[in-house]
Amino acid sequence: MTLPDERQPLSRAAWLAVTVAALGYLVDIYDLILFGVVRDASLTAIGVSDAERATVGENLLSYQMGGMLLGGILWGVLGDKRGRLSVLFGSILLYSLANIANGFVTDVTGYAVLRVVAGIGLAGELGAGVTLALELIDPKRRGYATTAIAGIGILGALLAVYVGRNYDWRTAYFVGGAMGLTLLLLRVGVLESGIFAKVKQSDVKRGDFLALFRTRDRFVRYASVILVGVPVWYGVGILAINAPEITAALGATEAPLRPTAIWWMYAGLAAGDLGSGLVSQLLRSRKRALGTFLVLDVLAIGFYFAFARDPFTIYLACFLLGIANGYWAVFVTTAAEQFGTNLRATAATTAPNFVRGSLTLTTLLFQVLRAETDFATGAAIVGVLVMAVAFAALRGIDETYGKNLDFVEG
C-alpha cells in the first residue's frame, strides 16, 4: 500500500535542493545583517562623523535594498526564462565577489556602489532556491521545506552578529564572500525542477515580469503578498537597527547595544520561522497562519513601545518582535504558490525583494516623521501604517495550502 504523501521519504534531489536553498539563505541573511552590526565601526573607519553616521548608515542600507529591487526583477525573469539553477549560480557569485571587494572600501561612495552590487547579487538567492525546492516536493510537505530553509537561513544573522562583534569589519565582509564561494561547490549536484523542464519545452511565454500586472486578479495577488510581508522589514530595519535611538526617545534609562538588539531580533525570527511554518501545516492554511502572526506582531510592537525602557526589556521586545515577524517562511511559500510555473520564479524572487526594498520607503517616511517629531513617534506612526496595510492586503491572497504547482498562467 502506498504511504500518504506526508510519510513518503523525500528524494535525494529534494533534500539537496532544500539544503542548498537553506545555506544560500544563511549567506543572504548574513550579509543583510552584517551591515547593521558593523555599520558604526566601518563608517567611523572611513571617516564618517558621529553626527552623520545614522543618516549615512540608513542611506547605505537603502542603496542595498534598492539593488535588491533591481536584482529581484533581473534574477526572477532569468529564473523563469533560463532556469532556477542558473540564478542560484549567478546570484551567489556576484554577491560573493562584491562582498570581498567591500572589505577594501575607503570612502562612502565606494561603500554605496558595492552595497548596490551586493544587493543585486543577493536578490536571486531566496526566490530561486525556494521555487526549486517547492517544485521538487509534494504539496502537503512544502510548508516544512520552506520552514527548514527559513529557519536555517535566519541563523546567518546570529553568525553575522558573532563575526561582526569579534572580528574586524573588513574581515567580516571577507568571511561572507568566502562562504558564498564555498556554497557554489555544493550546487554542482543540484538538479533542475522537472515541472520547469516540462514548461520550458512548451511554447508558453515565461519570465514576463509585466504579466504580473496585466490582469486585475494577478496584480491583486502579487501586490497583496508583497504588502503582507512589509512588517517584517519594518521590525528589522527600523525597530531593531534603530533601537538605541528609538528607546532613548522613549526615555530608556540605558542605551542598548545595536548588535545585541539585532541578535535578539534574529533569534526571535529563527524561532518564529520554525513556528509559523509548523502553524501553517497544523492549520492547513497559509492565510490563517499569516493572520495569526500579524496579530502577534501588533502585540509585540505594542510591547516594544510600552515597556522597552532598559536593556533587558529592549532585548526582550526585539526577541518578541522577531517571533511575531517570523512568518517569513510562510510568506515566501505563499508567494511561490500563488503563480504558475511560467511566472513562479519571477514572482517568488521579486516579492521578497520588493518587501526588503520597501524598507527604503519606510525609512524615508521615518526620517521625515522623526524630523517633525522624534525617533519614537516617527517609528510608531510608520508601524501603524505598515500593519494596517498588511491586514488589508491579507484579503487579496489566495489560499494555497496543498495546491498543485504544475500549472501555468495564461
Distances (CA, A) of 405 to 136, 252, 280, 368: 10, 50, 18, 43
User: Does 6 score more than 50 pLDDT?
Assistant: no
Over residues 190-222, the pLDDT tens digits come to 777 788 888 888 888 898 999 999 999 999 999
Mean pLDDT across 313-318: 97
Over residues 354-401, the pLDDT tens digits come to 998 888 889 899 999 999 999 999 999 999 999 999 999 999 999 999
User: Does 343 score more than 90 pLDDT?
Assistant: yes
- What single string gives the DSSP state of each residue in 192-231? PPHHHHHHHTS------GGGGGTSHHHHHHHHHHHHHHHH
User: Does 117 score more than 80 pLDDT?
Assistant: yes
User: Does 329 score more than 60 pLDDT?
Assistant: yes
pLDDT band at residue 10 using 50, 70 and 90 as cut-offs: low
Q: Which three cell numbers stand for residue 61?
A: 542600507
**Cα gap 246→121, rounded to integer Å:** 31
pLDDT band at residue 5 using 50, 70 and 90 as cut-offs: very low
User: Does 312 score more than 90 pLDDT?
Assistant: yes
Nearest to 109 by CA among 356, 100, 117, 361: 117
Per the model's pLDDT, the better-predicted residue between 158 and 120 turns out to be 120
Written as one letter, the residue type at 274 is L
Distances (CA, A) of 158 to 32, 68, 216, 327: 12, 22, 41, 18
Burial class (CB in 10 A: 0-12, 13-18, 19+), 253: exposed
**Cα gap 143→137, rounded to integer Å:** 10
Are 330 and 277 contacting, i.e. CB atoms less than 8 angstroms apart? yes
Over residues 35-77, the pLDDT tens digits come to 878 988 999 999 999 888 878 888 888 888 888 889 999 999 9
Mean pLDDT across 135-154: 81
Identify the pLDDT of residue 268: 92
Per the model's pLDDT, the better-predicted residue between 92 and 172 turns out to be 172
Mean pLDDT across 72-91: 88
**Cα gap 389→289, rounded to integer Å:** 17
Q: Which three cell numbers stand for residue 141?
A: 510537505
Identify the pLDDT of residue 8: 53
pTM score: 0.84
Angle between helices 108-122 and 12-45 (to 10 degrees): 170
Nearest to 363 by CA among 247, 259, 236: 236
Nearest to 65 by CA among 382, 358, 305: 358
User: Does 142 score more than 80 pLDDT?
Assistant: yes
Over residues 257-278, the pLDDT tens digits come to 988 998 899 889 888 988 898 8
Spatial neighbors of 25 by CB under 8 A, at least 6 apart, are 125, 126, 129, 149, 150, 152, 153, 154, 156
Per the model's pLDDT, the better-predicted residue between 255 and 24 turns out to be 255
Identify the pLDDT of residue 3: 35
Written as one letter, the residue type at 28 is D
Share of the chain above pLDDT 70, in %: 97
Spatial neighbors of 230 by CB under 8 A, at least 6 apart, are 355, 358, 362, 386, 389, 390
Identify the pLDDT of residue 303: 98
User: Does 1 score more than 60 pLDDT?
Assistant: no
Nearest to 192 by CA among 91, 89, 93, 92: 89
Residue where the block lists cell 511566472: 343
Spatial neighbors of 36 by CB under 8 A, at least 6 apart, are 61, 240, 241, 258, 259, 262
User: Does 176 score more than 80 pLDDT?
Assistant: yes
Could you give all domains of the chain from N- to C-terminal order, each with its CATH number?
Answer: 10-187+207-394 (1.20.1250.20)
**Cα gap 180→94, rounded to integer Å:** 9
Over residues 246-257, the pLDDT tens digits come to 999 999 989 999
Question: What's the gap between Cα 296 and its chain centre?
Answer: 19
